[in-house]
Amino acid sequence: MTLRAREALEGAELIVGYSTYVRLVQRDFPHKMYLATGMRGEVDRCRMALEHAAGGEQVAVVCSGDPGVYGMAGLLLELAPEYPGVTIEVIPGVSAANGGAAILGAPLMHDWCSISLSDLMTPWEVIERRLVAAAQADFCIALYNPSSKGRQDYLRRACDVLLKTRSPKTVCGCVRNVGREGEECRTLTLQELRDAQADMLTCVFVGNSQTVVVDGRMVTPRGYRLEGQ
């Protein structure tokens, strides 16, 4: 959590969020008022926050990582015109891609993209086109939502798409529970990643053609070092 985010939570009268994220912040702010919804309750959650804000309360909406990266910032701004007078401030955080990259080493030092493998909002056909384009362009890739109970083979399917263009020896990494208790990480090849276990708490990193392992850390060279120096 950034200092700016902590200050916003300290100043809030009401904290709204997904039930899992609410439990995480309750430990640091036990005396606040809370409202929470479960999975797929995003619209209801944002409307609750906006309604309370329209009533004059100082409200903070919490989500994982950065609110503008697969978070609630966009939805709140979409709904905001229905609640005139409510001012929304988007406070940046640390996304799983940034946090996980720091744990692994420096896998995102060159051009990169993030792709969610969840097809709840995006058809798999679109996800696959994005994987193909990213692989062909030699982007480093951060994969969000690699697997779930209902999508146990999606990471394998994504790897199969990438292996059509990328070497099976491409350096990859997995980080689970970024910034939370039980944080763990490992590096592996793209071929090994195909058969790896991952869940919704895992962020997966696929290196580009230049990515290497240096003393156990995943590194994508930016090009600062000239050959021979």
- pLDDT (tens digit per residue) in 142-184: 999 998 887 889 999 999 999 999 999 999 999 999 988 899 9
What is the model's pTM? 0.92
Task: Find the mean pLDDT for residues 26-31.
Answer: 93
Q: How far apart are CA 28 and CA 34, in angstroms?
A: 13
Query: Last residue of a domain, which of 57, 82, 107?
Result: 82
Q: Are residues 137 and 206 in the same domain?
A: yes
Give me the number of domains the chain comprises: 2
Let me know if residue 147 belongs to a domain.
yes
Q: Give tens-digit pLDDT for 174-194.
A: 999 998 889 999 999 999 999
Residue range(s) defining the domain that contains residue 62? 3-82
CATH label of the domain that carries residue 22: 3.40.1010.10
Q: What percent of the chain has pLDDT over 70?
A: 98
Determine the Cα–Cα distance for residues 2 and 209; give it in Å rounded to an integer: 33
Say whether both 113 and 183 belong to one domain: yes
108 and 188, same domain (yes or no):
yes
| 225 domain-assigned | no
User: Do residue 71 and residue 100 come from a single domain?
Assistant: no
User: In terms of domains, do 106 and 201 share one?
Assistant: yes
**Is 142 within 8 Å of 114 (Cβ atoms)?**
yes
Residue 69 sits in the same domain as residue 111:
no
